[in-house]
Amino acid sequence: MRKIAVLTSGGDAPGMNAAIRGVVRCANSRGMDVYGIERGYDGLIKGNIFRMDSRSVSDTIQKGGTILKTARCPEFATEEGIRKGGDVLNAYGIEGLIVIGGDGSFRGMKDLTDLCGIRCMGIPGTIDNDLGYTDFTLGFDTAVNTVLDALNKIRDTMTSHDRACIIEVMGRHCGDIALYAGIAGGAESIIVPELPFNIDDVCDKMRRNVIKGKVSDIIVLAEGVCSCDALKAQIHDRTGVTIRTVKLGYIQRGGTPSMADRVLAARCADRAVELLFNDCKESRVIGTKDNKIIDMNIDEALAIKKEFNTQMMEIAMRLSF
């Protein structure tokens, strides 16, 4: 293949620019032409496509967000929308597409393959870390570090006032951001959608913490469970304790990508380009397993259910005993 395109889709994630840069430069260095598509599948359907070269991605590796912009595009979840996208790629003579996005974006990519025969490579870009086939997704490490930075600051003030605080973090249906930030930040409780949670246990632990002399109590709550305000009301009803809440929100999606996300972006981009350069006959997704870069057939990858790391949760519970 000599002519390929790249787009970002779904929620943005730190490291997406590093991945776009990696795609453009790894492709150009192999003599391939690269086209950028703006605003994900929406831009594909509308033909918002332009030629990119090495200079188009200068000074972008350290930037959060995505220079190609992103979108959620309901039309692309229809057969008509997908066929329109396939027609645009064919009209430009583009032979392969690299999609940087999450689970939904990969489902769109699979449909584009099945309905239009376009070969696509997926690079996992989402802060949620909710894809089963890969250990990590681009943006997750940065998002967790952003949460940690906030958690440390919140801890300072909660300790000064002898207070408890619920910190609500993103992740959609996945508890990984809460789990990793909770362990690294020394949270007293971590509540995730993957595991059953008993409000009475949380309240009992808060009471025990007071008896043990703990002066602050941080509960990291994944958004997929409930809102921090709903949890606060339940705890207050049972204990009468005054508790503060912080919903971290979009701060988790922005910011300069960490070293881990930049390096993962570069490695995934190079593999995706290599597969297209070698005329791989099927659509695949790139990821990382045991710190090695892997690629896998898109159907197989999408069939793998994300498994929650219960061992890490057990460690977290021992640490906050």
Q: Which residues bind ligand F6P (CB under 6 A)?
A: 11, 102, 126-128, 170-172, 223, 253
Catalytic residue of the set 103, 111, 128, 217: 128
Q: Note if 261 is an active site residue.
A: no
Strands 33-37 and 49-52: antiparallel
Least Å from the CB of residue 314 to ligand ADP:
29
CA-closest candidate to residue 36, choices 1, 6, 66 = 6
In the bound state with ligand F6P, the residue whose beta carbon lies nearer, of 126 and 320, is 126
Cβ(247)–Cβ(5) under 8 Å?
Answer: no
Long-range contacts of 134-137 (CB under 8 A, 24+ apart): 134/285, 134/287, 134/288, 134/289, 134/294, 135/287, 135/288, 135/289, 135/290, 135/291, 136/260, 136/264, 136/287, 136/288, 137/13, 137/102, 137/287
User: Pick from 2, 30, 69, 72: which binds ligand ADP (CB under 6 A)?
Assistant: 72
Strands 189-191 and 217-222: parallel
Binding of ligand ADP by 108 (CB under 6 A)? yes
User: Pick from 37, 38, 41, 223: which binds ligand ADP (CB under 6 A)?
Assistant: 41
- How far apart (Å, rounded) are the C-alpha atoms in residues 85 and 248? 36
In the bound state with ligand F6P, the residue whose beta carbon lies nearer, of 159 and 256, is 256
Closest CB to ligand ADP: residue number: 104
Binding of ligand ADP by 252 (CB under 6 A)? no
Tokens (6 digits) for 241: 């304790």
User: Pick from 77, 148, 195, 294: which binds ligand ADP (CB under 6 A)?
Assistant: 77
Binding of ligand ADP by 244 (CB under 6 A)? no
Tokens (6 digits) for 21: 């840069």
In the bound state with ligand ADP, the residue whose beta carbon lies nearer, of 77 and 199, is 77
- How far apart (Å, rounded) are the C-alpha atoms in residues 85 and 73? 12
- How far apart (Å, rounded) are the C-alpha atoms in residues 74 and 266? 30
**From ligand F6P, ligand ADP, none, which one binds at residue 108 (CB under 5 to 8 Å depending on kind)?**
ligand ADP
Tokens (6 digits) for 296: 């896998």
Binding of ligand ADP by 301 (CB under 6 A)? no
**From ligand F6P, ligand ADP, none, which one binds at residue 182 (CB under 5 to 8 Å depending on kind)?**
none
Least Å from the CB of residue 201 to ligand ADP:
32
Least Å from the CB of residue 226 to ligand ADP:
21
Active site residues: 128
**Binding footprint of ligand ADP on the chain (CB under 6 A):** 9-11, 41, 72-73, 76-77, 101-105, 107-108, 111, 126
